[in-house]
A and B are shown apart, each in its own frame.
Chain A
Amino acid sequence: MKRLIALAALLVAAAALFVAGRTSGAEPLTLTIAGSRYTVTVLIDPPRTGAIVVDTRVTSGDADGMALSAVMPDMGHAMPELAAAEREPGRFVAEGELFTMSGVWDVSIRLTGPAGEETLTAKALISG
Chain B
Amino acid sequence: MIRALLLAAVLVVMFAAPAAAHNVTAGADLRIAQTIAGAEVTLVIKGTSRVPGPLRIGVVAFERAAGLPVSLEVRSLTGGRTVKGVARAAADPEYAELRVEETGPHQLTLRAGDEVAVVPFRVLVDRGSAGDFLIYGGLFAAGLLLVGGLLTGAVSRRGPAMMLAAGAAAGVTVAAMVVVFEPMLPPGPPDGAAPTAQTQPAGGRPFAQARMETAPAGPAPGQEFTLRVDLTDGSTGRPVDDLVSHHEALAHVVVTSEDGRYFRHVHPLRTAAGRLEVRLRADRPGRYLVYAELEREDSGGQLLTGEFAVDGDPAGAATADLPAAVPELRPAVPVAGRPATIELPADGAVRPWLGMAGHLIVRSQDGSFLGHVHEMGTNGTRLRFTFSFPRPGRYLAWAQHATDGRIVTMPFTVDVAEPAG
Contacts and interface: CB of A to CB of B under 8 A. Distances in A.
Given A34-B78, A73-B205, A5 B194 contact: no
Interface stretch (A7-15, A49-57, A89-97, A109-117): A7-15
List of 10 A-B pairs having minimum Cβ-Cβ separation, nearest first: A76-B235, A34-B80, A16-B9, A125-B195, A76-B206, A8-B170, A78-B236, A23-B16, A4-B166, A103-B197
The A interface is mostly helix, strand or loop, or mixed, namely mixed
Contacts of B260: none
Contact of B77 (A3, A18, A33, A102): A33
Interface string A72-90: 0111111000000000000
Interface of A: 3-5, 7-13, 15-16, 18-20, 22-23, 25, 32-35, 39, 60, 71, 73-78, 102-104, 122-125
A20 B237 CA distance: 35
A9 B75 CA distance: 47
A34 B138 CA distance: 41
A23 B13 contact: yes
A18 B133 contact: yes
A59 to B, nearest CB: 9
Contacts of A25: 195
B167 interface: yes
Contact of B194 (A3, A12, A76, A104): A104
Interface of B: 1-2, 5-6, 8-9, 12-13, 16, 75-80, 105, 127, 130, 133-134, 138, 141, 163, 166-167, 169-171, 173-174, 177-178, 185, 188-189, 194-197, 200-201, 205-206, 233-238, 242, 297-298
Contacts of A8: 2, 169-170, 173-174
Given A23-B12, A78-B236, 10 more contacts: A3-B166, A5-B1, A8-B2, A8-B170, A34-B80, A71-B233, A73-B298, A77-B235, A78-B235, A123-B195
A13 B174 CA distance: 10
Contacts, number: 118
Contacts of B12: 16, 19-20, 23
10 contacts: A5-B1, A8-B170, A9-B5, A11-B171, A19-B188, A22-B16, A76-B233, A104-B195, A123-B194, A123-B195
Contacts of B138: 11
Contacts of A9: 1-2, 5
Contacts of B171: 11
A56 B168 CA distance: 49
B196 A104 contact: yes
A74 B78 contact: no
Count chain B CB atoms within 10 A of each CB in A4, A35, A102 and give the residue with the most: A4
A94 B147 CA distance: 56
Contact of B201 (A3, A10, A15, A74): A74
Nearest to B236: A78
B236 A77 contact: yes
A102 B198 CA distance: 10
B9 A12 contact: yes
B201 A75 contact: yes
B242 A73 contact: yes
A79 B126 CA distance: 34
B203 to A, nearest CB: 8
Contact of A19 (B9, B105, B242): B9
B75 A34 contact: yes
Nearest to A76: B235
A5 B8 contact: no
Given A22-B130, A76-B205, A76-B206, A5 B195 contact: no
